Chains A and B, each alone.
Chain A
């Protein structure tokens, strides 16, 4: 069983190795919240407190890790903008987090700091997921949304799902692709909302594009809606086939480092996440109550920042 050998979750201010994680659009909303989606308390739960917590713990863990230099190089070899990372203006910080995640993931069992690196992996994927979900939202919110706590009768209600529109021009590549992959916007919305509604514990629902690679060009395979649970990432490349690889290892006794590397190097496909929705209980509990997940998800749909989502479409495609 997995047990951290050290108690890592103590709050202790140390010299910070990591820059503060910020989302430009959300910087001044700590006390205000997002209109039509989150009160200030709700926003703190789902972003600020969470991000601070992850950063503090990451700071400590990075210092404990044997692979400290490798892990830190994910951040240090790129120029930092006054010690903080803005997510909205570049996908650069996502890349960095991604790099941190895969570096941490490569730490293999038996290595000295496996448990520490394991926690680093968990925290950085959490940070990555939250970053992604929050920056998919329109910080201006949506005036027509209603934030309220419904009662138990909400469980019986159905929400009409017609005339769905999004703020993208008709000829946008993304919109065309959504229509050809899912049939219509209504169908995408239904799929997204049903998927995240069904997540019971922590998790995110993602809209991802799958590309096949050849000669450094990307060819679109299709769009998919997938869920990730707890510390999972949408790009399954890191963890995909983990079980099978272990089983093969147990059977054949391959050398440890070889097979661990195997599943990081399947480069023929590329997952590009476009949109994430936080479906975990803490994302809606304080503003929408126990029965309000559906209302929350409807509000999220109305607050998605579609131009940002569209801008994540890779340029090589």
Chain B
């Protein structure tokens, strides 16, 4: 379930994981989503940029033998490790994003009955989910990610994260923009969270991401232009490989 860009326990460098259809996509792009150049920029180049920086930031340190996901877990609480966290979290999220896309029309995948049930329970219908997702995306300021997550109540939720935020930990969701306007509720929540973290508490995994949407310009600037994130999302729904999403859902039978 958790992605590892390099599987190892000894020292080494981080490398770009190879996607199943990578060669074909590099030649033709992802049908219905990316041109060849757009795909190269958002996956091959950007992921290379991230893993190289992550390698340089972790070589010779404790994080050297860890996978990006483990680095996220090891660094999310430390203010001095924010840069390492950024690269690790971006690596992880970007892989999560590209793992779930497919050529449009290539697979006749659909939400499993289980997933469909839980979507209907939380949002009403798949269309409602898409509308909510889009509303969340439009209010997201700047670069970031939008996730559909399953929380520990086994309910679905939409979480948006500015910049390198991760859905796993509330303290690093990063869904406020303090340089813009905030509300009293935000401040109250922030203070509760801050007290919780300052006391040295370990956060449990609150959310498990099911769908991950990349709202960084690296992902869509080439093909959709500077204001194209909503158009990108609409195309994204057609290229979503539901088989991957179905597997990400917590399933008691698989335990």
Residues of B within 8 A of A246 (CB): 182, 184, 187
Is B52 a contact of A155 with CB atoms below 8 Å? yes
Assembled-state Cα–Cα distance A233/B179 (Å): 8
**Per-residue 0/1 for A247-287: is the Cβ within 8 Å of any B Cβ (1 yes, 0 no)?**
10110000000000000000000000000000011100110
Query: Would you list which residues of chain B between 126 and 178 have a CB under 8 Å from chain A?
Result: 135-136, 138-139, 141-144, 162-164, 175-178
Is B45 a contact of A7 with CB atoms below 8 Å? no
Question: Known interface pairs A2-B186, A49-B225, A49-B226. Does A289 touch B180 (Cβ–Cβ under 8 Å)?
Answer: no
Using CB atoms, name the residue of chain A closest to B230: A9
Is A200 a contact of B163 with CB atoms below 8 Å? yes
Is A239 a contact of B178 with CB atoms below 8 Å? yes
**Per-residue 0/1 for B59-97: is the Cβ within 8 Å of any A Cβ (1 yes, 0 no)?**
000000000000000000000000000100000000000
B22 proximal to A (CB < 8 A): no
Q: Shortest distance in angstroms between A1's beta carbon and chain B's nearest beta carbon?
A: 7
Is A3 a contact of B221 with CB atoms below 8 Å? no
Is A155 a contact of B49 with CB atoms below 8 Å? yes
Residues of B within 8 A of A201 (CB): 142-144, 162-163, 216
Residues of A within 8 A of B49 (CB): 152, 155, 290-291
Is B222 a contact of A285 with CB atoms below 8 Å? yes
Using CB atoms, name the residue of chain A closest to B175: A1
Q: Which of A14-22, A137-145, A223-231 contacts B (4 or more CB under 8 A)?
A: A223-231
**Per-residue 0/1 for B176-198: is the Cβ within 8 Å of any A Cβ (1 yes, 0 no)?**
11111111111110110000000
B99 proximal to A (CB < 8 A): no
Residues of B within 8 A of A109 (CB): 183-184
Using CB atoms, name the residue of chain A closest to B83: A198
Is B182 a contact of A281 with CB atoms below 8 Å? no
Residues of A within 8 A of B222 (CB): 285-286
Query: Would you list which residues of chain A between 60 and 119 have a CB under 8 Å from chain B?
Result: 105, 109, 114, 118
Q: Shortest distance in angstroms between A69's beta carbon and chain B's nearest beta carbon?
A: 20
Residues of B within 8 A of A155 (CB): 49, 52-53, 56
B interface bracket (residues with beta carbon within 8 Å of A): 35 or more
Assembled-state Cα–Cα distance A250/B184 (Å): 8
A195 proximal to B (CB < 8 A): no
Assembled-state Cα–Cα distance A1/B142 (Å): 16
B123 proximal to A (CB < 8 A): no
Q: Shortest distance in angstroms between A131's beta carbon and chain B's nearest beta carbon?
A: 16
Prevailing SS type, chain B contact patch: helix
Is B187 a contact of A281 with CB atoms below 8 Å? no
Q: Shortest distance in angstroms between B179's beta carbon and chain A's nearest beta carbon?
A: 3
Using CB atoms, name the residue of chain B closest to A105: B181
Residues of A within 8 A of B185 (CB): 1
Which one of B138, B175, B182, B190 lies within 8 Å of A8 (CB-CB)? B138
Assembled-state Cα–Cα distance A53/B183 (Å): 26
Query: Would you list which residues of chain A between 218 and 242 have a CB under 8 Å from chain B?
Result: 228-233, 239, 242
Residues of B within 8 A of A105 (CB): 181
A243 proximal to B (CB < 8 A): yes
Which one of A50, A118, A122, A290 lies within 8 Å of B227 (CB-CB)? A50
Is B177 a contact of A230 with CB atoms below 8 Å? yes
A45 proximal to B (CB < 8 A): yes
A168 proximal to B (CB < 8 A): no
Assembled-state Cα–Cα distance A2/B49 (Å): 32
Is B217 a contact of A280 with CB atoms below 8 Å? yes
Residues of B within 8 A of A231 (CB): 141-142, 177, 179-180
Residues of A within 8 A of B52 (CB): 152, 155
B46 proximal to A (CB < 8 A): yes
Give the residue among B177, B178, B191, B226 with the most A Cβ atoms within 10 A: B226
B98 proximal to A (CB < 8 A): no
A202 proximal to B (CB < 8 A): yes
Residues of B within 8 A of A7 (CB): 135, 138
Residues of A within 8 A of B53 (CB): 155
Is B139 a contact of A3 with CB atoms below 8 Å? yes
Residues of B within 8 A of A53 (CB): 226-227
Assembled-state Cα–Cα distance A46/B225 (Å): 10
Q: Shortest distance in angstroms between B174's beta carbon and chain A's nearest beta carbon?
A: 10
Query: Would you list which residues of chain A between 26 and 75 have a CB under 8 Å from chain B?
Result: 44-46, 49-50, 53
A317 proximal to B (CB < 8 A): no
Which one of B182, B190, B218 lies within 8 Å of A285 (CB-CB)? B218
Residues of A within 8 A of B183 (CB): 2, 109, 114
Interchain Cβ contacts under 8 Å between A and B, 28 examples: A3-B135, A3-B139, A4-B135, A49-B226, A50-B226, A50-B227, A53-B227, A109-B184, A125-B180, A155-B53, A200-B86, A201-B142, A201-B143, A230-B177, A230-B179, A231-B179, A232-B180, A239-B180, A242-B182, A243-B182, A243-B187, A243-B190, A249-B184, A281-B216, A281-B217, A281-B218, A282-B221, A291-B49
Beyond contacts A49-B225, A243-B187: 14 other A-B pairs, Cβ-Cβ < 8 A, are A1-B185, A4-B135, A9-B230, A46-B226, A125-B180, A155-B53, A200-B163, A201-B143, A230-B179, A231-B177, A242-B182, A246-B182, A285-B41, A285-B217
The 8 closest A-B pairs by CB, nearest first: A232-B179, A202-B142, A201-B143, A246-B187, A290-B45, A201-B163, A230-B142, A231-B180
